[in-house]
Amino acid sequence: MTTVSLSRIASARSGDKGRGSNVGILARSDAAYAFLKETLTEERVREHMSAINVGAVTRYTADNMRVLNFLLADSLGGGGSESLLTDAQGKTHGLAVLRMELEVPESVLQATPEPRR
């Protein structure tokens, strides 16, 4: 096992949804998706994002697209029109999740192309 950031095996898209945000994690390979489906749980994302999300985290899977979609119920302090936060939008939350460190098997890393720089 090697410790890497989630961005090594996945990319992300995110956006605001009222009081919360959604974060879609797109695995770079079938091996990475199978690993993430087992490892990247609601609890793990809730813990990683606990500094900004005070609500529940719900995970949805889209196997045919190798996507895990997480809804962070209360991550925007009420949303763009209600919050006193400088930038109460969810567009950066995907990047925040991609910074999560994971212990990834060598077989998954070998089967997964590195991100383009």
Residue 53 lies in a domain: yes
Rg value, the chain, Cα: 14
**42 belongs to a structural domain:** yes
Question: Which pLDDT does position 117 carry in this prediction?
Answer: 76
In a domain, 113, yes or no: no
- The answer to the question of residue 55 being in a domain is yes
In the beta sheet, which residues pair with residue 16? Answer: 21
Look at residue 26 and tell me if it is in a domain: yes
Domain count of the fold of the chain: 1
- Provide the pLDDT confidence category of residue 78 given band limits of 50, 70 and 90: low
| Residue 101 structural domain | 2-78+86-108
Q: What is the pLDDT of residues 20-70, one digit of tens each?
A: 899 999 999 999 999 999 999 999 999 999 999 999 999 999 999 999 999
pTM of the model: 0.89
Position 40, amino acid: L
Where b means 16+ CB within 10 Å and e means fewer, 51-90 reads: ebbeeebebeeeeeebbbbbbbbbbbeebeeeeeeeebbb
Residue 9 in domain: yes
Tell me what pLDDT residue 81 has: 54
- Is 117 inside a domain boundary? no
Q: Residue 85: its pLDDT value, please?
A: 52
87, pLDDT greater than 60: no
Query: What confidence score (pLDDT) does residue 19 get?
Result: 84
Which pLDDT tens digit goes with each residue over 10-23? 999 998 877 889 99
Residue 102 located in a structural domain = yes
